[in-house]
Structure 1
Amino acid sequence: MMDQGPGRYVALGDSFTEGVGDFSKRRPNGVRGWADRVAEALASDSPGWEYANLAIRSKRLRHIIAEQLEPAIKMEPTLITLYAGGNDVMDFGTKIADILAEYEFMVERLAETGATLVLFTGYDVEVSPILGPLRRKNHAYNDGVRLIAAKYGAILVDYANFSAYATSRMWGPDRLHMSKVGHKYLAARVLDVLEVPHGITHKNKRSAELSVRQRAKEHRVWVTEWVLPLFGRKLRGTTLGDTLSPRWPEPVRVPPRKGLKKLTR
């Protein structure tokens, strides 16, 4: 379990950790996310915590290894969170054995720092039969992550088994990234695992039922605005993160009151 007292928290990964879906105009890259919320709760409980977030949307494992791994290690963190591999799973032609080999390489390096290391499985989003063939890969990826977490003594947040995410209100309009509500819930679950007190609450509201016509219209909008552009970027070899920089590239001291919002004024 994590040592008591303030330390340095470094978050690595892709859009999941960058905070996509939890929109916030004043924050770097226009998002907040669960990791910011975790950092703020840590500082509120024990003033003096520092925080860096190197995650950038659309990054694959090879990018995270090349761009985030060494910078993170050099920061001498006491707490590390890593979510990586989801984009690799969604790429056509990738093999789970190769994905998990890269993932384990990174976990081994991070575990050597002696920091508390938190890993995540990937949620099995049931968005459409279009993405159905990817589900088997995601199941295999999750099985591998669980084994690697146990092997290196990492804390596992088994996101794949959180039943709260079965409702649509936990997801953004692209159906692949968490909404603000989803990010808040995940932050609470991470803090619970770390045994850090917090005031984040979750009301299990049911989503309003849509008519057949409303569901069909929503699906058409989703395909037009999210699915087709996604496949277009894959064909062009571009990503949404190509022009972005890390949100918090260097450790910042998190104000115990008003949190990171105070640093963005």
Structure 2
Amino acid sequence: MRTETALRREESDEHCLSTAEAEACLAGARWRRFLVIGDEVADGRGEPAEGYGRDGWADRVAGSLRRVQPGLAYLNLGRKGRLAAEIRSRQLGRVLEFKPDLTALTCCGSELLRDPFDADTVEGEFDRVVAPLRDNGGDVLLLNWFDITRYGPGTDEETERLRIRLRELAERKQAVALRHGAIYVNLAAHAAAADRNVYGADGSTPTMRGHAIAAASVIRGLGVHLAGAADERR
């Protein structure tokens, strides 16, 4: 019997974007230096998914941006297991040297599994990363990853504890985005977050279907931002 993953194909997946659709979303984009920081979600780790490309979400977004701006410079500093404080202390200096005009930030998988989970500290670290990027005139996109509890892994107690933390993390990221005028994309609320084949065998690592959906959501979010900016200029 063919699996659900095998039956799905990227080109017919309602949650993904074709090349033409991505270009339409990003029409008029002027970003020339795109940088990604964060943990293993940022660096594009994922399990293969039949019928889907092999690139992680960030590489996909960079490819779409490059079709609009062929000279785009792209740097990905994502590293497995990075905590928010480590991203600030180990990556922020290189970020500012790169002088991005668009930065995508996603992390906190490791924080979510620590006891106790200190949401105030995490929010503060995000503030300390986003503020200088915005002060330098660049756009920042905060990406909140899929809510893995929606398809029900783990015990009821474990699932509920993680669900509460994920909800609080989403709220804190959104608060930082609102404070600094950043773009916010929340995959935790995405309809596909409840699909088992968005995640790999370990139940947490994304598949390439998950990365394809994440890239589409980020591109749509950038498109909404571009449309809003265009309206303000009128």
TM-score by shorter chain over 0.5: yes
Match of 2:175 in 1: 147
C-alpha RMSD of matched pairs (Å)? 2.2
Structure 1: which 4+ aligned runs deviate by more than 4 Å?
none
| Contact 1:120/1:158 (8 A) holds in 2 | yes
Identity of counterpart residues, as a percentage?
A: 26
| Contact 1:22/1:183 (8 A) holds in 2 | no
> If the length of structure 1 is used for normalisation, what is the TM-score?
0.66
- Structure 1 distance, partners of 2:74, 2:186, is 23
Match of 2:137 in 1: 114
Runs of 5+ consecutive residues of structure 2 not aligned to the other structure: 1-25, 225-234
Task: Count the aligned residue pairs.
Answer: 190
1:136 aligns to 2:164 (yes or no): yes
1:5 aligns to 2:30 (yes or no): yes
- Secondary structure class of the residue paired with 1:195: helix
Higher helix proportion (structure 1 or 2): 2
- Paired amino acid for 2:63: E
Trace 1:34-183 onto structure 2 (pairs within 5 A): 34-126=57-149, 127-129=153-155, 130-183=158-211
- Secondary structure class of the residue paired with 2:29: coil
* Mean CA deviation greater in 160-169 or 125-134: 125-134
- Paired amino acid for 1:61: A
- Paired amino acid for 1:64: I
Task: Output one character per residue of 1:171-190: Cα deviation in whole Å (capped at 9) or x when no partner.
Answer: 11111121001101111111
> If the length of structure 2 is used for normalisation, what is the TM-score?
0.75
- Structure 1 distance, partners of 2:71, 2:167, is 39
- Secondary structure class of the residue paired with 1:11: strand
- Paired amino acid for 1:18: D
Match of 1:21 in 2: 46
- Secondary structure class of the residue paired with 2:148: coil
| Contact 2:56/2:212 (8 A) holds in 1 | yes
CA drift at 1:159: 1.2
- Structure 2 distance, partners of 1:195, 1:68, is 27
CA drift at 1:5: 3.3
Higher alpha-carbon Rg: 1
- Structure 2 distance, partners of 1:99, 1:78, is 24
- Paired amino acid for 1:76: K
- Paired amino acid for 2:211: H
- Secondary structure class of the residue paired with 2:46: coil
| Contact 2:198/2:206 (8 A) holds in 1 | yes
CA drift at 1:45: 2.2
CA drift at 1:23: 5.5
- Paired amino acid for 1:119: L
| Contact 1:9/1:39 (8 A) holds in 2 | yes
- Structure 2 distance, partners of 1:142, 1:91, is 17
- Secondary structure class of the residue paired with 2:140: strand
- Paired amino acid for 1:12: I
- Structure 2 distance, partners of 1:3, 1:77, is 18
CA separation of 1:8 and 1:166: change in aligned 2, threshold 3 A: same
| Contact 1:120/1:156 (8 A) holds in 2 | yes
CA drift at 1:143: 0.9
* Mean CA deviation greater in 74-83 or 37-46: 37-46
| Contact 1:38/1:187 (8 A) holds in 2 | yes
- Structure 2 distance, partners of 1:6, 1:110, is 14
- Structure 1 distance, partners of 2:204, 2:147, is 10
Task: Output one character per residue of 1:149-207: Cα deviation in whole Å (capped at 9) or x when no partner.
Answer: 111000110111101121111111111121001101111111122229xxxxxxxxxxx
Task: Output one character per residue of 1:56-87: Cα deviation in whole Å (capped at 9) or x when no partner.
Answer: 01111121111111101111101100012232
